[in-house]
Structure formats: C-alpha cells, structure tokens
Amino acid sequence: MTVALETRNLVKRFGGLVATDDVSIAFQKGVRYALIGPNGAGKTTLINLLTGVLRPTGGAVILEGADITGMAPHRRVQNGLARTFQINQLFPEMTPLQTVGLAVSERQGHGREWWRLAGGKREVIDEAAAILERFGLTDVMGAETKVLPYGKQRLLEIAVAIACRPRVLLLDEPAAGVPEEERHEILDIVGGLPDDVTILLIEHDMDLVFSFAQRIAVLVNGGLFMEGAAKDIAADPRVREVYLGEGGHG
Amino acid sequence: MTDIAAAAAVPQISPAADARLMLAAAARWRWWEFAVWIAALAAIVVFPRNLLLLNEIAILALFALSLDLILGFAGIVSLGHAAFFGVGAYAAGLLGKFGYGDPFLGLAAAAAVAAVLGFATSFLLLRGSDLTRLMVTLGIALMLLELANREAWLTGGADGLQGVTIGPVLGLFDFDLSGRTAYLYSLGVLFVLFLLARRIIHSPFGLSLRAVKQNPLRARAIGISVAVRLVAIYTLSAAFAGVAGALSAQTTQYVSLEVFDFIRSADVMLVLVLGGVGYLYGGIFGALIFKLMQDYLSAITPQYWQFWIGLVLVILVLAGRERIGAQLTRLFAPLLRWRRA
C-alpha cells in the first residue's frame, strides 16, 4: 500500500495552547478515513495544517512522498489535495455552473487566459456539466449561489472540491446543518465518490462515520489518541468513554 | 452563432449544451450597449459646441473604467488612483515637450510607465485590510505629487508642464480648437480599451477575479493563486489609468500637478459609485452624470455646485441602486414587455 498523505510529529501551538500535539499519521491511498474527536480536540486545526491555511510550529506534512509543509494552499490543490469547508465557502454571486466551470478550468490550466470568452472550451463545459449532473445541480446551475437552498449549497461545496479532481479529499462535516430530509442526498454523494480518491471525513454524526469510514482516527486534546479499523474503534471501550460519552452533549 | 442556432432548434438539449448557451449569453451584447456607443458617436453632430466637455467626459470615463477593473471586479479599494493618471499624463506630456509628439507613442509610453508603477506597488496591497489599501494608495499618490513638485526642472513644478506639442492623430488629424479631433480620439481610445476590458472580464481570468473578490479563501481552495491574479489586474488597471492621463495631457497640451491631486482620486471613486460598480458601464454613466451636473450646476451656483453632487451620492448610496433600479424597471416594464412581444 502506498501512503497518500502523511504527517510527521506535527505540532501547532497558539501561544500557550497546544492545538496539535505531535501528530504522526499516515493515510493510505484509496482508503476512506474518518477523523473524530470531541469538540476542541483539534480536528479543524489539523485540517488547516494539512491544507496550508496554518503553518505548523513543528513537524512535516508529506503529500505522495513530497514534503509540502511550506507549500502555499493553492499549490497543494494543484498537487491533488482538495477540501470542503465546515461552513460553506462559495462564491455568492456566481452560479453553480460558473463556480464548477471555474474550478475545472483552473485545474486544466486555463485560469490565466484573458483573451478567450469563458465557456468556449468544450472540455471544460462538458466536465462541469457532468459534475453538476452527478450532484443533482443541473436544474439550478444558472441561479446565483446565494439564492440556492442550503442543501444545494452544501452539495455545491463538495462538487467544487471534486472539480479539482483531487487524489486526497478532506471533507469537513459535509452534512453539517443540512435538514434531515435532505441528508440522504449528501450521504449518497459522499458514499459514491470515486474509489481511488483518499478521503478524510471529519464528522460528528456517528451513523455517517460508521457507514462511510474503513478506518478511523480519534483525536483527543490535540493528540492522536488512536487510529485503526472502523469496527475496532467502535468496539474500543476507551474511545466510547472519551468520545462517544462526550458526544452525547453535542 | 451558428451552433447556438442549431442547439436552439433541437427541442431536448443536453445539460452541457445548455451550460454552453448560458455562459455564452452572459457575454452577449445587449441592445442598450449598442445604444450607448451610437449615442456617444452621434454626440459629435448633436452637440458640436460641447466637444471639449465631451472629451473630458470620455477621459474621465476611461479613468473610472480603470478603477472599476480593480474595485468592481477584484475588490481592491484605492484612494490614490490618480498616481497612475498622473504618471501617464507626465509621460505623454514630456514626450510631447521633447519632440516625440505622436499621440499613439505617447499613449503607449504612458501605459508602460503606469503599468510598471502599478506592478511595483501592487505588492504592497496583497496583504491587509481595505483600510490599509486606502492608506497605502493614498500615500503613494501623495509621494508622487511631492516628487513632481520638487523636480521642477523636469515637470515644471507648480507652474505645470508647458510647451507640450502633440502631432496629428495618425499623421492626419490635427487637434483643433473645437475639440472635434480630441473627442473622437479620446472616444476611440476609450472604446478600444473598453472592448479589451469587456473581453477580459468575460474570460476565465475575469471569472477568477470575481471569485477572488467574492471569496479569496475558496479561490485558493480551487487552486487559484490570489496574489498573481491581483497583481495582474492591478497592473492592467494602472495602465488604463495611465492612458487616461495621457489623453488628458495630449488633448489639453498641458500637465499640472493636479493630475496627482487627492481630489482626483476621490472624484473618480465618486464617479464610479454614481454610475455603478462592477458592470463596466458605471464609469461611462458616472462620468456623464458627474460632468453634466458639474457643468450645469456650476453655471447656476459656481461656488456650491458640489453640494448637489454630494446630495445625489448620499441618496444613491443610502437608497441603494438596486431599489432605484427596480422602481425604474417597474416603470418601464410595459415598454419592455411590448419590445419582447
């Protein structure tokens, strides 16, 4: 098995607070992971370190064998590491078609072309249209994103990341805030993502975690508490104590 | 156009074809756009006595368009855009003074000098808030003003740059006293640069600028280098502003220190807000409204005409352009329905 993404002794301190405490973990290619842990365990900080939004205090991030610790966020995306956000980060006054089309066009390297009208490249449009169709967004592709129902915006959030054609995808609570009746749509999409993509899912919803993940990593107080096969983690009494017990509050 | 017609003829179109049509529609020329340019040209015949004013309007419109490129499409605020107008004006003016009076050579030089300045200073704007950007741009324009003031041997200092001689446009059309050549020249340059700007904002690059403006965090997360895009558009905007400055220097055959004045930077922002930010025509409509009000009101009340400009600005910003626009649309809705039918 090859390692897709890896951290080595990763540390992040904010003043006196240790948000990420010596985390060394390897994500194998094509495997679905879930990252769980109580609130304040450092999940989001870890994601921000992986994607380059934050610089670590110490340690390294390795993407497909290459050290990307100091690499700018947009360069990491170009190198196959994409993400979604816990709170929607979309372009409110652009349409889903423009949003996904832009992501595809950037990935294909047309982003700096100023002499050509957007929408002129067949390979961009075809791929964007296919992604929108797969995510059930074809009906609304011409509407401004800000007027879309929340569930559709959530789908677009994932669709944009997929348009970057990542080899490693970080999903930060994809179903957060989605009403119960629209949840299955998100779950189906997440479950149906391509097999060769390594996925790291951060999620509070245990049903989603156990239906999705092959392996689970548990973070507690910024440190890696445990990492293992999903069924072993589910059965582990210590995990039940630190995480599932506390999860009852949220 | 033929493949649009073909696609429309097929009753069931695929999502991809639909998407293509949708994107093509965004860049299509609207009827009123043609009307704007035809009216601008017709103004030569209709208002032969006001060509000097029309020339000023065209130059101000280009200057405001240059600001729109950064403010409307990339979200960069500036209170020092006169810096680029000024260096463009001095570049063209100095060339004219020292015997290189070809108008297009002057424009090219002005664009180049302003672009270099824009490129160099763009790096100061990459980080920081709107307030930082306002202060940095303001500061740069102030420094240039004092530099031009101090180096009087070159710029003429407070007396202004005298003895600027500009040759005929294309070697054929001399600048006349009525302003006919001046207006046609400025309008032509405005039109060409407008076409370029229009092309750019509807390109993949233009789309990426809007993305950067609306959400830089997500723009980075789809692999866009935000810094590179901002540097590129700022440099282009500076070049446009430099050309506007050059047009001013060439058509008046004079450059004064006022080209760098803070008032000029503030006015161009005001003009753009009057006309509307982020749809390319804001600069043109704004310049028209601003200059006409200035011309009309200053004839009635020479000292206090800016009062009325201020009032209009306050109403426009508080009431919101959309609401005023919606009222107008409702007013004209029957007419539009009739036109469609």
Token digits of residue A140: 């609304």
Q: How many residues does chain B have?
A: 341
Instruction: Using a CB–CB cutoff of 8 Å, tell me whether B25 touches chain A.
Output: no
Task: Let me know whether B312 and B190 are in one domain.
Answer: no
Q: Answer yes or no: do B15 and A92 touch at CB < 8 A.
A: no
Q: Give how far the C-alpha of residue A192 lies from the chain's centroid of Cα atoms, to the nearest Å.
A: 15
- What percent of chain B has pLDDT above 70? 90
Residues B107-122, mean pLDDT to the nearest whole number: 96
pLDDT digits (tens, 9 = 90+) for A152-180: 999 999 999 999 999 999 999 888 888 88
pLDDT digits (tens, 9 = 90+) for A24-47: 999 999 999 999 988 888 898 999
- Residue B334's pLDDT band (cuts 50, 70, 90): low
pLDDT digits (tens, 9 = 90+) for B43-97: 998 988 889 999 999 999 999 999 999 999 999 999 999 999 999 999 999 998 8
Task: Let me know whether B256 and B310 are in one domain.
Answer: no
Which pLDDT does position B103 carry in this prediction? 92
pLDDT at A80 exceeding the cut of 80: yes
Domain-located, residue B291 = no
Nearest CA among B54, B65, B29, B50 for reference residue B187? B54
CATH code for the domain in which residue B119 is found? 1.10.3470
Mutation choice for A interface testing from B207, B230, B277, B322 by most A CBs within 10 A: B207
List the domains of chain A with CATH numbers: 1-80+166-250 (3.40.50.300), 90-165 (no CATH)
Euclidean distance between CA atoms B154 and B93, whole angstroms: 11
Task: Let me know whether B118 and B236 are in one domain.
Answer: yes
Instruction: Using a CB–CB cutoff of 8 Å, tell me whether B15 touches chain A.
Output: yes
Q: Answer yes or no: do B221 and A133 touch at CB < 8 A.
A: no
If DSSP states are collapsed to H, E and C, what string results for A113-137? CCCCCCCCCHHHHHHHHHHHHHCCC
Residues B288-309, mean pLDDT to the nearest whole number: 85
Contacts of A94 in chain B (CB under 8 A): 207, 210-211, 214
Contact (Cβ atoms closer than 8 angstroms) between residue B205 and residue A111 = yes
Buried b (16+ CB within 10 A) or exposed e, B144-174: bbeebeeeeeebbeeeebeebebbebeeeee
Instruction: Using a CB–CB cutoff of 8 Å, tell me whether B205 touches chain A.
Output: yes
pLDDT digits (tens, 9 = 90+) for A170-206: 999 888 888 888 888 888 888 888 888 999 999 887 8
Of the residues B284, B317, B333, which one is the last residue of a structural domain? B284
Which pLDDT does position B104 carry in this prediction? 94
Count up the domains in chain B and report the number. 2
Q: Answer yes or no: do A82 and B221 touch at CB < 8 A.
A: yes
Backbone angles phi, psi at A230, to 5 degrees: -55, -45
Which pLDDT does position A176 carry in this prediction? 84
- Confirm whether the ipTM is greater than 0.95: no
Domain-located, residue B223 = yes
pLDDT at B3 exceeding the cut of 80: no
Instruction: Using a CB–CB cutoff of 8 Å, tell me whether B224 touches chain A.
Output: yes
pLDDT at B36 exceeding the cut of 50: yes
- Residue A249's pLDDT band (cuts 50, 70, 90): very low
Task: Let me know whether B158 and B239 are in one domain.
Answer: yes
Q: Answer yes or no: do B221 and A77 touch at CB < 8 A.
A: yes
CA distance A62 to chain B (A): 18
CA distance A155 to chain B (A): 15
Instruction: Using a CB–CB cutoff of 8 Å, tell me whether B14 touches chain A.
Output: yes
Q: Give residues 65 to 94 of B whose Cβ lies within 8 Å of A.
A: none
Instruction: Using a CB–CB cutoff of 8 Å, tell me whether B120 touches chain A.
Output: no
Contacts of B208 in chain A (CB under 8 A): 102, 106, 111
Task: Let me know whether B330 and B241 are in one domain.
Answer: no
Task: Let me know whether B274 and B338 are in one domain.
Answer: no
Contacts of B215 in chain A (CB under 8 A): 89-92
Q: Given the DSSP bridges, would you call strands A3-14 and A58-63 parallel, antiparallel or unpaired?
A: antiparallel
Q: Answer yes or no: do A125 and B218 touch at CB < 8 A.
A: no
Task: Let me know whether B201 and B314 are in one domain.
Answer: no
Residues B121-128, mean pLDDT to the nearest whole number: 88
Instruction: Using a CB–CB cutoff of 8 Å, tell me whether B210 touches chain A.
Output: yes
Q: Which domain holds residue B99?
A: 36-284
Q: List the strands of the sheet with A3-14, edge to edge.
A: A17-28, A3-14, A58-63, A66-67
Cα–Cα–Cα angle for A203, A208, A209, nearest 5°? 60
What Cα–Cα distance (Å) separates residue A206 from each residue in A34, A38, A84, A195?
10, 12, 19, 22
Q: Given the DSSP bridges, would you call strands A66-67 and A58-63 parallel, antiparallel or unpaired?
A: antiparallel
